Chains A and B, each alone.
Chain A
Amino acid sequence: MTDWLTYNSLIVLQGVTLLGACSGVIGCFAVLRRRSLVGDALAHASLPGVCLAYLIIGEKHFFAMLIGAFLSGLLGIGFLAILRKFTRIKEDAGIAILLSVFFGAGIVLRSVIQQMPASGRAGLDSFIFGHSAGIVQSDVHWITGLSAGTLLIVLLCYKEFRLVAFDPEFAQVQGWPARLLDFALMLLLLGAVVIGLPAVGILLMAAMLIIPAAAARFWTQRFSFLLLLSAGAGMGSGIVGTILSAKFGVPTGACIILVCAAFFFISLLFAPGRGVVARILARQRNNLALQAQMKAGEEPPP
C-alpha cells in the first residue's frame, strides 16, 4: 500500500464508487428522457429546504437536513409539473427558473442563518457545495443504502421504467400508469441528488448523472447494457478520479468529472458505430464503393 492511500481515502473511494454506480444508472433514465439538467436544478432547489430544516431544528442535524432537501426538491418537481401542464413556459425555461429562484431563496435563508447567535454553520456550506475528500463513514452508510434501494427499485420495475424512458406515450396507451412511473423516476433522481449532495456537491452530482450515461449511449443500443456500462463508467471514474486526486493533491470532485469527461471523449471518438472515427470510416468506405461502382459503369444504388 502506498502512502497516499490512507484509511480516509479508502472511505472516500467507497463512497464515490457506490455513488458513481448509482447515479450512472439513474442518469440513464434522465438522459433518455431529455432531463439531464433536472438533476442540476433539483440539487440547487434543495438549498432552501436544507436551510429551513436548520432554522427549525436549530442545529446541524443530518437527517433533518436530508428531509428538508427532499421536501424542497419535491416542491421543485411540483413546480415543474405545474408549469408544464398549465403554462406555455417550456421545460428548459422551467428548469432555469426553478434552479435560480429556489437557490436564491436558499441564499437568503443562508444569510439569516449566518446571523443567528451561536450559529454552528460549519457544515452547512459543505452540505451544499459538497466536499468529496470529506466523506465520512456515516455518509458511506447512507450512500450504500441509497444505492441498494435504487438498484432494487430499478430491478423490480425494470420493464416498466424502460418503456417509460423510451416512449411514455406508448406506455400510457399500453395501460401502464405512465405518469406515476415517470414521477417515480423523478423521485429516484431526487433521492440520488439529495443523498449525493452532501457527499460530493452540486457540480459533481450533476456531472455524474449526465456524463456516464451520455458516454455509455455511444456504445450500445440495448438498455440493459446501457445501464451496466453507465454504472461501470460512473464507478470507474469515481475510483480513478479519487486515486488521481489523492496522488496529485487536486480537488477530488473536479478530478472525477475530468476522468468522466475523458471517458466521454474517448467514446465520442472511438465508439464503434456511433463514434466519430467509425462514422468517418463508414462514409469513406461508402464513397469508395460508390466510386468503384461508377467506374464499373453500374448505376449507383438509389
Chain B
Amino acid sequence: MTGAEFHQAFWTVAIAAVCSVSCALLGCFLLLKRMSMLGDAIGHGVLPGIVLAVLLTGQVTSVYVLLGAMIFGVLTAVLSETLASSTEVTEDAGLGVVYTSLFAAGVILLSVFARHAHLDLDCVFLGLLEVAPLRTMSFLGFDIPRAAPTMALALGLTLGFLLVFWKELKIAAFDPALAASMGFSPRVINYLLIALIAGNTVSAFEAVGLILVLAVLIVPAASAHLLTDRLGAMLGWSACFALSASVLGFALRGLGGFSLDISGMIAVVLGVQFAVVVLLAPRHGILAKAWRNLRLSLRIAAEDILGTLYRAEEAGVVTFSLALKDHGLSSWVIWLAHRQLVQAGWIETNDKGLLVLTASGRQRAQYVVRSHRLWETFAGEFLDLPADHVHTAAARVEHYIGPKLQDELATALNQPPIDPHGKAIPPSAVETPPPPAN
C-alpha cells in the first residue's frame, strides 16, 4: 500500500467512523422518542436552508451553509410537531407533508436562482465517501480532508451535549412529564437535540450522503435497543455497531472484484448486524423468545400429562387417551414432553404396556392437581363462579402457581378437603417440587 493509498483509506474510514458514531449516539434518543423518521425528514427539509445560504453568501462551503441547514432542520421538526399537536393531522402525515414540501421548495429555489451553483443533488443523496479524502486542506502543515474538522467538531459537540445534559436527556427521553415537573423543559432539550441532529446530518451530507446518515442514526440504535434495557449501555452498543460497520463496510468494498459504494456497504453491514441481533439477542431476540416459548409449552405439556395420569389413577381407570389437544398443544410438543418425563423417571410403561406414574412423578402430579383444585375452590368461593365455570380457568392457572402461592391459597381457604366438584384436594407434597420457571 502506497502512502497515498494509505492516506485515502485512513481518511475514508476515519470520516465514516466519526460521522457514524456521532449519529449513532444521537439516534438512540430519536429511537426512544419514536421519532425515527425525523432524521429522514430533517435530511430533506434542510435543502432550502442550504440553497438560501449558498445564494446569500455565494459560497458552497461555509459556516453559513451549516447554519442555514440547522435552522431549516429545526424548522422541519417544529413545523411537523406543531401540525401534529395543534391540528388533527397525525404525526407521520405531518412529517411527510412538511419535509416533501420543504424539499420541493428547495428544488425550485435551486432551479430558479442557482442553476450554476455547484450543488449536486445526487451527491447529497448518495454521498461521495470515496472522494471525501481527496478534497483536502492544509492544517498545521498536514494535508487533511476538508470534511475532517467539521466531522470532528460535530462529534465533539455531540459528546459534549451528552455529557452536560445526560441526566436531563435521560429523563426527557423516558418521562417528559416528570422532566417538566422537575423544572426543566423537555421541549428545550428536545429542540437542542434536534438542532444537533440537523447539524450532524448536514455536516455528514457531503461526505457520506443522506441515506447513510439515516442508516447510522437509526439502525445501530435499534440493534442496541434489542440488546440492553439501560440507556448508557445502549449508547455504548450503538457506537460500537456504528464503528464496526464503518470499518467492515470499508473492508468489504472490494467484494466480488467490484469497487462497491462504501456508504451503501456500511448501510448493508448495519442491516446485517441488525438482522443478526434480531435473531440472536439474548432476551429480545426471536430465537430466544422461541426457545422460552418452547420451554414453557414443554413444561405445560408435561404437567398436563402428569395431571391426566394422576386423575386416571384416582378414578381407577386403567386405559385412557391423552386428550391434551384440548390445551392447544401440538402433538410434537406432547411427544417431546412425554420423552422428557420418561427420562426424568416420572412416568414409565408398566408390564401391561400402559403409562403409569412413578413415585416421584406422583408427587409432582399431586402438586399440579393440588394447584388446580385449590384454584377451583378459590374461584368458586372468592370470585363466585359456578362449579361448571371454574375448570377451564384452573387448567390454565395451575401451571403458574408456585409453592408459596399454593400455601397462601390453602391458608386463605382454611385447608379445604374437597374442590367444588367434590374431588379430594391432594395434600401438600412432602418434598417441595421445583417452582415453575418463568
- B67, CB-defined interface residue at 8 Å: no
Residue of A nearest to B125 (CB): A129
Q: Are A104 and B267 in contact (CB under 8 A)?
A: yes
Q: Are B258 and A112 in contact (CB under 8 A)?
A: yes
Nearest CB on B from A84, distance (A): 12
How many Cβ-Cβ contacts under 8 Å join chain A to chain B?
198
Q: How far is the CA of A31 from the CA of B84 in the complex (A)?
A: 13
Q: Are B284 and A88 in contact (CB under 8 A)?
A: yes
Residue of A nearest to B35 (CB): A92
Q: Are A274 and B87 in contact (CB under 8 A)?
A: yes
Q: Report which of B40, B101, B268 forms a contact with A211, defined as CB distance below 8 A.
A: B101
Q: How far is the CA of A106 from the CA of B31 in the complex (A)?
A: 24
Q: Are B97 and A254 in contact (CB under 8 A)?
A: no
- B266, CB-defined interface residue at 8 Å: yes
- B36, CB-defined interface residue at 8 Å: yes
- A195, CB-defined interface residue at 8 Å: no
Identify which of A34-42, A56-64, A153-161 touches chain B. Answer: A34-42
Cβ–Cβ < 8 Å partners of B392 in chain A? none
Nearest CB on A from B226, distance (A): 7
Q: How far is the CA of A56 from the CA of B260 in the complex (A)?
A: 18
Nearest CB on B from A18, distance (A): 20
- A268, CB-defined interface residue at 8 Å: yes
- B426, CB-defined interface residue at 8 Å: no
Cβ–Cβ < 8 Å partners of B34 in chain A? 90, 92-93
Cβ–Cβ < 8 Å partners of B263 in chain A? 104, 107
Main DSSP-derived SS at the B contact region: helix
Q: How far is the CA of A250 from the CA of B100 in the complex (A)?
A: 16
Q: Are A86 and B289 in contact (CB under 8 A)?
A: yes
Q: Are A111 and B87 in contact (CB under 8 A)?
A: no
Q: Report which of A90, A96, A260 forms a contact with B214, defined as CB distance below 8 A.
A: A96
Within 268-282 of A, Cβ neighbours of B (below 8 Å) are at 268, 274, 276
Nearest CB on A from B398, distance (A): 28
Cβ–Cβ < 8 Å partners of A44 in chain B? 211
Nearest CB on A from B7, distance (A): 22
Q: Are B270 and A101 in contact (CB under 8 A)?
A: yes
Q: Are B267 and A257 in contact (CB under 8 A)?
A: no
| With A35-B92, A87-B286, A268-B87 as contacts: A96 and B104 at CB distance below 8 Å | no
- A22, CB-defined interface residue at 8 Å: no
Cβ–Cβ < 8 Å partners of A255 in chain B? 104, 108
Q: Are A93 and B31 in contact (CB under 8 A)?
A: yes
Q: Are B219 and A101 in contact (CB under 8 A)?
A: yes
Q: Are B258 and A250 in contact (CB under 8 A)?
A: no
- A8, CB-defined interface residue at 8 Å: no
Nearest CB on A from B201, distance (A): 13
Q: Are A274 and B104 in contact (CB under 8 A)?
A: no
Closest 4 CB pairs of A and B: A104-B267, A107-B264, A101-B271, A257-B104
Q: 16 new A-B pairs (CB below 8 Å) besides A103-B267, A211-B96?
A: A86-B278, A86-B289, A89-B226, A92-B37, A93-B225, A96-B219, A101-B215, A101-B268, A105-B268, A108-B268, A203-B44, A207-B96, A211-B97, A214-B89, A254-B107, A260-B101
- Tell me the A residues contacting B by CB distance below 8 Å: 31, 34-37, 40, 44, 82-83, 86-90, 92-93, 95-97, 99-108, 110-112, 115, 125, 129, 203, 206-207, 209-211, 213-214, 217-218, 248-251, 253-255, 257-258, 260-261, 264, 268, 274, 276
